[in-house]
Structure 1
Amino acid sequence: MKINSLKISILCFLYAVLAPLPSLAQELDPALEILIQKGLEKSRSININQLNAQQAQVDQNLAKAVFLPKITLNGSYTRLNDNITFDDDTQNLLIATQKLLIKEAAGIPFNASFPANIPLQEVNHLQNKNILKSSVDVDWVLFSGFEATNAIKAARHKEASLNYAGMAEKDRIVVNIIETYDKLALVNASEQVLAASEDYLRDQEYFVKKAIENGLGTPIHRKRIELAQQQLAARQLEFSHNKTLLIEVLQQLTGEEKEILQALAPNLTALPSNEMATEKRNEIKALEEAERATAYKAKMDRNHTVPKVALKGHYEFRENDLSLFDPRWYAGVGIKWTLFDGGQSRLKSQKSKLEGEKYREQIQEAEELIALSIVKAELSYEASLQNSRIAQKEIELAEATFELVNKQHKNDLASITEVLDALKDLERANFQLQESYFGQRRAVTTLLHAKGLLNY
């Protein structure tokens, strides 16, 4: 790469950084957008959080199901050792009563003997020894003492808390993927800088070779060039290893195939950093919803001693095997009132309140940390812009110095060591410029995250 073309590219890029910027969604590389979506789909933590949210939905349905009637079908067969009957005195009394009633109906005098030709009905058993029953029961909670109602509200806020926690996890994953992608872009930009240095060294190698052939140079000059080339190769190997590692990290985060990741050519382009109104972070929303959930749970525990009202119904499908005292059906409304449960309701409610106070402390701590991170990100962004301007000036100075020293060396007015030192200064200045671009993108991403504006 020639110095002039490199200079033009740097100027254009610096203008892109300093110019007014569009929104984040419009600015992100489409390849990066695809990686973010893949990363969100692959995330185990997000999937686990969604399952937890679904469990909270089931908890709501379970609490609502308290108010639905429960219908139970029953069937049983029992064999007793014998029929259950009245004792002998009671049976004799029932037989005698039956005879009196028959004599009265037939007009037979009270003191007359009972006619032998009139049959008597045997006394029924209280319960036959073979008992076959088939019945249905209905249990219906009419009033749960607000316990189920508060359980529904607690589960609803728990679900909302888990949903916000999932959004917060998405934000963290997005920031991680963007940062890794930007590091890969920084490696690519650094490789371009090293490629430019390689071109400069190749020109110097050719010049020294010709100088030695014409008796104007020494083998020491060639060895210095060879040492510089070896040092450059070591730096190129280091960046190659960094690129391999970053591809591994991206593959783990997104699940994308390595061949596709290796074919990526990300660039360090600017991100929007205009004045943005701060929105409440998903982490704060998750904690607030968790606090509300514990408040309703405390009410639910406290309402355990409130009277409960329920309806009970029973119907027997078979009458044959019922005892003389068993009803065919019955229905009723009952009340259950726990006057004293050993203080368990009060203690559970107190425990839930303490849990809510813990969430309130976490909310305040998180708000303080978020406010600090916003200030830190804004300062980092300003510093990155200043570093970009400084690096640009250093590049201009390093280019001018290199051109001057290189011209002096060709006129035998400067040593090859001075030329190589000037080349290293130019390379270092280019590295600093690329690092300032990386710092600018990272600061903007952090600022968007801190202000709750990623919205993925």
Structure 2
Amino acid sequence: MHVNRLKISILIMALVGFSSAASRAQQLDPELKELISKGLHKSHSVQIYKMEAEQAQVDQKLAKSTFLPHVTVNGSYTRLNDDITFDQNTQNLLVATQKLLIKEAAGIPFHAPFPENIPLTEIANLQDKNILKSSVDVDWVLFSGMQATNALKASKHQEASLNYLGKAEEDKLALQIIETYDKLALVHASRQVITTSEKFLNEQAHYVNKAIKNGLATPLSRQKIELAQQQLASKELEFRQNTTLLIEVLQQLTGESRTNLAQIEPRLYAPSPVVQSDLEKRHEIKALEEAERATQYKAKMEKSSFIPKVALQGHYEFLEENLSLLEPKWYVGVGVKWNLFDGNRARLKSQKSNIESRKYRAKINQAEEMIELSVVQAQLNYESALQNTQIAQKEIDLAQATYDMVDKQHKNNLASINEVLDALTDLEKANFKLQETYFHQRRAMTELLHAKGNLTSFYN
């Protein structure tokens, strides 16, 4: 019997020793890092931020496309009710002028009649009634009055803001996965405590049954042990239920199959002490700062609507025969557009964007104050967690020594079975409390890293 107790004690010490070695070797289990990676790829919130950042990239391309020529090919057919011609007096004048020119060229006297054998050219219509046109137009903005340039800069800062918001969402998701994974490890730790307690109770049941046969104990002692075994079975059921629930949560967060999640055996261990590091700027602050810059450039974009714009325009007709006598075949021109007064719309829009920028600055100040407080709180929580871990380890030593003493007294009829069971319960609680302190210590550590802006490098 003493050999069995020695084996169980060695098992507990080995578990604690393995945990310490693991903490020195790594901060996160490889399977936990893999779960975080899968969770980041699955997260709808993270994907939405990425898609919104892609939209900002498209906005940048739209701003750049302002300076690219816009080429349009046109085609049309029109039928008028009749040809458009000169009035009769104008036609007579044009015919008379044509005759004079011909007589002059042929050397015929001015007052001589016009020869009938010389044909005259018919007067062309101003516009035929059947009009078929095909042309190309070119519109090219040469200077947008800085509107396109400011819009491009605003979109770049908007993209950066969305990327930082996505990283902040990734940190929140990583915290959820780490916490759920550690809860599952805590449940598995409770299973180890249950297994250890079961071995203790089986040992006590064997001893009590032997004592009853020898008249050294009553059946009441056996009933008390059986009650304790039933209570242990209830804890076993609670373990299975908690395991199922946590696996469901992990499956939802990461998309990993339930079968694979059921096979992992996470363990709790005391993480390595957090190295004191400088406070890094949080992703949330960076996102707000980029959004502030975006609104500032948006305000400049609205204000620059009063700067003159310069554009080039060109036109070319493919079907020359369908043009009227007054239409050119092609033309090229440069124009200037200067908005002198638009009813104060641009000024008011710029004013609105400036107010939005000041709102972001107020949010930045508020967030920095909250982060500063959260760092202090997280540091205090972490120090408390370290202290509680040390206390829990001493409680295990005390509970183990107490149980060994009471068990020895019971075998010498110096202690009751109730005292043995109470000592066993205290040992169970002490072992499980140590695992709980590991859980809270890791929780406090990740919260401290998150508060300081160092969490991303922890799980990447």
Q: Greater shift after overlay, 191-200 or 366-375?
A: 366-375
2:324 is the counterpart of 1:323? yes
Residue matched to 1:58: 58
8 A contact 2:20–2:269 mirrored in 1: no
Residue matched to 2:423: 422
Q: Cα deviation per residue 1:399-449 (whole Å; 9 max; x = unaligned)?
A: 122122222222222222221111111111111111111111111111112
Partner Cα separation in structure 2 for residue 100 and residue 52 of structure 1: 77
SS of 2:139 mapped into structure 1? strand
2:409 is the counterpart of 1:408? yes
Residue matched to 2:84: 84
Cα RMSD, aligned residues only: 1.8
Alpha-carbon distance, 1:72 to partner = 1.1
Q: Percent identity?
A: 64
SS of 1:131 mapped into structure 2? strand
Partner Cα separation in structure 1 for residue 106 and residue 9 of structure 2: 138
SS of 2:83 mapped into structure 1? coil
Q: Of the candidates 4, 29, 37, which is equivalent to residue 9 of structure 2?
A: 4
Could you list the runs of 5+ residues in structure 2 that have no partner in the other structure?
none
Write the mapping of 1:142-153 to structure 2, written as runs, cut at 5 A.
142-153=142-153
2:387 is the counterpart of 1:386? yes
Letter in 2 for 1:12: G
Residue matched to 1:129: 129
Q: Cα deviation per residue 1:368-418 (whole Å; 9 max; x = unaligned)?
A: 222222222221221111111111121122112212222222222222222
Alpha-carbon distance, 1:15 to partner = 5.3
SS of 2:232 mapped into structure 1? helix
2:237 is the counterpart of 1:237? yes
Partner Cα separation in structure 2 for residue 14 and residue 392 of structure 1: 13
Residue matched to 1:226: 226
8 A contact 1:14–1:388 mirrored in 2: no
Residue matched to 2:191: 191
Partner Cα separation in structure 2 for residue 7 and residue 27 of structure 1: 22
Partner Cα separation in structure 2 for residue 175 and residue 87 of structure 1: 88
Alpha-carbon distance, 1:215 to partner = 2.2
TM-score using structure 1 length: 0.95
Structure 1 ranges of 4+ moved more than 4 A: 13-17
8 A contact 2:296–2:354 mirrored in 1: yes
Write the mapping of 1:230-269 to structure 2, written as runs, cut at 5 A.
230-269=230-269
2:301 is the counterpart of 1:303? no
Alpha-carbon distance, 1:11 to partner = 5.4
Partner Cα separation in structure 2 for residue 322 and residue 201 of structure 1: 108
SS of 2:421 mapped into structure 1? helix
Residue matched to 2:172: 172
Letter in 2 for 1:200: F
Alpha-carbon distance, 1:305 to partner = 2.2
Q: Cα deviation per residue 1:233-253 (whole Å; 9 max; x = unaligned)?
A: 112221221111111111111
Alpha-carbon distance, 1:60 to partner = 0.3
Structure-2 change in CA distance of 1:15 and 1:318 (3 Å): closer
Letter in 1 for 2:442: R
Alpha-carbon distance, 1:294 to partner = 0.8
Partner Cα separation in structure 2 for residue 227 and residue 373 of structure 1: 47
2:144 is the counterpart of 1:139? no
Partner Cα separation in structure 2 for residue 239 and residue 342 of structure 1: 71
Partner Cα separation in structure 2 for residue 270 and residue 62 of structure 1: 53
SS of 1:127 mapped into structure 2? coil
8 A contact 2:160–2:290 mirrored in 1: yes
Q: Cα deviation per residue 1:258-301 (whole Å; 9 max; x = unaligned)?
A: 11111111111333411122211111111111111111111111
Partner Cα separation in structure 2 for residue 36 and residue 156 of structure 1: 29
Letter in 2 for 1:122: E
Alpha-carbon distance, 1:158 to partner = 0.8
Alpha-carbon distance, 1:10 to partner = 5.8
Q: Greater shift after overlay, 56-65 or 394-403?
A: 394-403
Residue matched to 2:71: 71
Partner Cα separation in structure 2 for residue 360 and residue 434 of structure 1: 44
Letter in 2 for 1:296: Y
Q: Greater shift after overlay, 91-100 or 408-417?
A: 408-417
Alpha-carbon distance, 1:6 to partner = 4.1
Partner Cα separation in structure 2 for residue 240 and residue 366 of structure 1: 42
